[in-house]
Structure formats: structure tokens, C-alpha cells
Structure 1
């Protein structure tokens, strides 16, 4: 049995810096996804390892189950239904396991995500031999919640193979989780985010977990909100020359844009009105790509985390 999960990216239309301090933000899921497939290794494979494959960077990590058991002598996967934070002692054990993978300096930013994987897996499923494969449509570190989508997808996959949530294995195609199961997925994802970011707001994993977050304003009001928020971000000094180039380019076509994420680079969100012609969109994209930017088109209609299953042949 292989479980497949997809968790969406997120955008914040307003309040990305204030939300870290407990204020409200306006956020939504978009239809760009991180995918995780997870399956237990069968006894016939005679492979007592835990594997993690990151397809987008062509990397694979593996840990002998015996080594994991040595690192966590008091491991108890029965805590899957009761999420808890990673202790300092456990964090050190995880760091040691990750360090043995000898991740190259060029990929060192991936280490925290690998650590989150180990923490979530051992907490939810214990030391069972398994293989997880990760693929993402999200650029890393661009303000789209890539780490949160990863933690949500990992948590959902692991919980789906545990006894902590109920799934209809006979249903074909993508299916949604029950509300109570989504709550458990979200709590574990938040714990994974804490390993990666230290003190996350929890907004990113919450948006990625739950179904469509309604955007009730019309397009013009939404654009005005974005423009106002961008002005505030510029006053805070978190814009960047590249961001300003994107803003000037899209402004020529009377489109609203704002930076997303922490600023200083990353992504710029541009609102494409429903009635905007494809010709104009193509012109904007062509001009931005000429300046060296990568353009992604996504709808503000991304569902929350979803699950599907594939039977072993």
C-alpha cells in the first residue's frame, strides 16, 4: 500500500509580518502543490532502512532502522494521536543522524527539512522500514510556504498509515480528510515547522491543511488591499530592487502586485483579473522573463491537503 498526499502552497495578501506577532493576516491556498508518497518496505525486500528521496534535487537519504532505534531508545509511536514538541535531547539525536548524511554545503538548507522528516516519522510511525518520495511544484524559500506544505504532506502521509485517523482505502482518486483528522495533521505539521523555523506563526501550515480559505472581496478591493500592503512593506524596508522591477513592469499593465514572504527577494504576487485577456498575460510574462524572472500561474482556489492510495502490484 502506497499513500500519496498533496498539500497546497499559500499566499498572504496582507499581514505576513504582523501575523508573526499574533495579528491577523489574510491568506489563501493556491493550486501549486507539494507531493509526498510513502510506503512501508515489505519483508521480502530484506531492506531494514528508512529512505527519503527528494526528486527535485536528485538526492536520497537513508538510515538503518537499527541506527534510528539506537538514537531513540525510548521511541514510542503511540504518541501519534497526541502531538508534542521535539525535546532538546531528541533534537540533538536527529541532528546527529542528519549530520551522518554529509549533506553538501550547496544543499545545507535542506537539512532542517530532513530533520523535520525524521522527527515526524519516528514520532508517528516509529522505526518501520519505509520509503518516502517528495516532489514539489513550489520554489524553495520564496514565500509560498514550501516548508509548511512539506510538513503538512509528510504528516498527512504518515498519519494515513497509522491507526490515528480513518481513511476510506477503497475510494479512488483524491479525497479529503475528516475535520478531526485535519486538526491532527495540522498540529503535527506545526511541530515540523517549529523544527525548520523555530517560532513559526502557524498560518502557513493551517492554510495548507484546510480546504479553500474564502476570499470574499471583489477583485478591485483585493487589488487595493494588496497595493496598500505593499506600500507598508516598502516603508518597513523589506522590498528589493528586483521586487521593484516586477512592480514597475506589472504596473504598466495596470495590475496590482505585492511581495510575499519575508521580503528582500523571493516572490511577487500579481493579481490577474478574471476578464484579463490571455494576450496581456503573455506580454507581461514575456517581459518579466526577459528580465530574468520565473513566472508561475496559479489559481486562488487550492484545496487543502488531500490523499489517494495505490495498491501494491
Structure 2
């Protein structure tokens, strides 16, 4: 049996950076996915088998002899319980040695932590069975769209499904969705994978990718919310890399230099996030009501962007996107860490395709990548198919 999974990326609609200082943030899933195909061998001669891992979009393939994996991590006692235990630093060092034995191109060395996460998740859940896992993704790496979380969620769900730990509750378009307890299980495993990759993630990305829809997040507390209106965004990837830790530190340093002013900024962001969440959840009976809500959301996005500029996390590439979309009377804001990365532009329900195409053409002429995404859809989904 082949198990297929897909997990969505995420955007932060409001509250980035300010959330570190106690403000509310709102995040939502997007219909851009990381897909995993997993085939586990039923061969009785397990020790002679291979664990194969392909990152198809990048043209990269890795493989390990099962016997070699066993020898390397034998002292750790794998597989582990399906309740998603925490990894140890000792175990990650051993997995890192397995990754180092692969010929990862120098330009792709940043993928090493993700490959370690895959190996840890695989052996923790499946143990030492030969298998082939293939990963493809719509999500650009390192752009603030939750690509690593979608990877961890999709891998975790595929492994748990193939081990019989998950059962579906409904289906649509060939995809199965999971019940609440199964989603919680996938999320716990995915969070461990995120920790291997990022060290101290907030848990926002993997939670949005697992459960879908939207969440409000404040001071470590996550509240899931469900939008009552369709939301569509143009996501513009500036392709400008940034150092998230440095940007976060810069905001904190500015807050130390100007405590009263920055406290007012963070308080304003908190109000924007709460109002935005209330608008998204409030009922809209007709197109006029939806249009009125979109107008308010556009104003809130512009206000949030202005406050992010106050925090010092905008960038010339982001400003180029803002100027371009403003020419078409569209509201935009950065999403995530800033300093480059991605920019969101709200696409109103009545906006013509002609205008959208013109905006995209102009942005792409600047060297940017444009993706149109629906916000607040489904989370992790699973499919099964037989093969001969």
C-alpha cells in the first residue's frame, strides 16, 4: 500500500514580531501543499533493504542501508511509542552522522536538519523497515510560508497512517480527513520534527498545517478559529533571504531604546489582530456584507504594515511590492519575519482576473514569484492506493 499525504503551508495575517512581546497574532492555512508519498516494503529480508528519501523538486535522492541505521542508533531503543516522545540531543547527533554520510550539495547543506528530522521520525514510528518516501512541495523554502512545518506534518501523518495509528472520519475528492485525537497525535510528532529543524519553534506553523483553518495565538496559548467568508491572497515571494533571529533581536533592541513608543506599537498590533479575527469570524449574509468586511480587512492590513515599518522589519523589496499593488488600489503587508520573504495582498471577491493578471505580471517583471492562495482551508489530508 502506498500512503499519500498533503499538508498546507501557512501565512501570518497579523501580529508577527509583536507576538513575541505579548500581542495577539492571527495565522491561517493556505492551499499550497507539501506532498509525501510513502511505500513501506513487506520484504522479509529487512536487514538487506534500503530506506530511500527523495526531494523530487530539487532532484535530490538519499538512501541508507537499514543495517547501517540499526548499527548507528541501536543503543537508542527504536522504534519509540506512538505517543510522540521528545527526541534527545544524543539521538540527533547520531542521526546527523547518518546525514553527513550523504553527498548533500554545498548549496543545499541547509537541508541537513530536515533530513535528520525525517530519519528520526521514520525510525521512531516505523523502526527498521525498508521504504521509499518521496516529497514534493508547492511552498518555496525559507520564505515564511511554513514549508518545514508542512514537511514535518506530512511526513508524520504518512508514517502514522502506514503504521495503523490513524483512522479517517470523512472523505472528499479522494482525500481523507482525520478526527480530533488523530490530528493531535500528528501535531505532537510534527512539533518534535520542527524542534529538530528550528530548535525552539512556537508551534504555530505545525498547528495551522495540521488542523487547517486559522488560529489566534497569544503568550503561548493557541485558539483555533474558523472563517465565515472566503479569503484569497496574492502571495509575493521577494526571494530575498533574511535572518529571522537578527530581525527579532532588532525589534527587541528598538523596544529597549524606545519602551513607551514600542509598547504603544505592540498594543496597537494586538487590537488589529483581535479586530481582524472578529471580522473574519462574523457572519456575512451576502456579497455586500463580504465587500464591507474586505474593506475593513484592507485597512487593518495597511495599519499592521505601517506598524511593522515602525518596528524596522520592512525592506526595499517589500516596499516595491507595496507600491506596485497600491497602484491597483490593493492592500498589502509583509508576512512572517520581514526583511524580505513574502508579502500578502488581499484579493477582493469581486476583483477581476484581468487586474490580478496585470498585478502578477508587474511583480514578476521585478523578479518576484507570485502565488495565489485561498486562506483558511483544510489541514492534513491522507490518501491510500494499492500498487503491484
TM range (shorter): over 0.9
Where 1:288 maps in the other structure, the secondary structure is helix
Matches for 1:1-313 after TM superposition, within 5 Å: 1-20=1-20, 23-43=23-43, 48-73=49-74, 74-80=76-82, 82-167=83-168, 173-213=174-214, 214-215=226-227, 216-217=279-280, 218-313=293-388
Pick the structure with more strand per residue: 2
User: Unmatched 5+ residue regions in structure 1?
Assistant: none
User: Unmatched 5+ residue regions in structure 2?
Assistant: 215-225, 228-278, 281-292
What is the aligned length? Answer: 312
> Do 1:14 and 1:226's aligned partners in 2 also have CA atoms closer than 8 Å?
yes
Q: Deviations over 1:128-166 (max 9, x none)?
A: 111100000011111110000000000000000113223
Q: Deviations over 1:113-137 (max 9, x none)?
A: 1111011111111111111000000
State TM-score, norm by structure 2: 0.76
Q: Which has the higher Rg, Structure 1 or Structure 2?
A: 2
1:70 Cα offset (Å): 1.2
> 2:53 & 2:170 partners in 1: Cα distance?
24
Q: Deviations over 1:23-70 (max 9, x none)?
A: 531111111111001011242898611111000000001111111111
Q: 1:54 to 1:203 in 2, by over 3 A?
A: same
Where 2:375 maps in the other structure, the secondary structure is coil
Mean Cα deviation higher: 134-143 or 68-77: 68-77
> 2:90 & 2:22 partners in 1: Cα distance?
29
1:77 Cα offset (Å): 2.1
